[in-house]
């Protein structure tokens, strides 16, 4: 699953830690999601999209192999 979390964080000048605190997960979880090593739950994906104020589909995208 591809995502634009790093880009969205940059737009809001947020660190991984800032985002992690807002969605109540560890910084390592955000890092793993950004790296594509971890697919977030639906609830977590919705929380992340809400923090950035953009649609879920604008942040997360299925890759052809997913």
pTM: 0.92
Total number of domains constituting the chain: 1
CATH code at position 14 = 1.10.260.40
Q: Is residue 66 part of a domain?
A: no
Rounded to the nearest angstrom, the gap between the alpha carbon of residue 40 and the centroid of all alpha carbons in its chain is 8
Is 41 within a domain?
A: yes
For residue 30, being part of any structural domain is answered with: yes
Indicate the Cα dihedral angle 45, 47, 8, 25, nearest 10°.
-90
Task: Give the start-end residues of each E strand in 1-66.
Answer: 2-3, 60-61
Computed over its alpha carbons, how large is the radius of gyration of the chain? 11
Model pLDDT for residues 12-61, shown as the tens digit of each residue: 999 999 999 999 999 999 999 999 999 999 999 999 999 999 999 999 99
Q: Which domain holds residue 40?
A: 2-61
């Amino acid at each position: 699953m591809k995502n634009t979390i790093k880009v969205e964080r940059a737009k809001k000048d947020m660190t991984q830690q800032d985002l992690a605190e807002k969605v109540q997960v560890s910084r390592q979880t955000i890092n793993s999601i950004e790296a594509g090593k971890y697919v977030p739950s639906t609830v977590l994906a919705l929380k992340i999209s809400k923090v950035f104020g953009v649609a879920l589909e604008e942040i997360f995208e299925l890759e052809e192999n997913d």
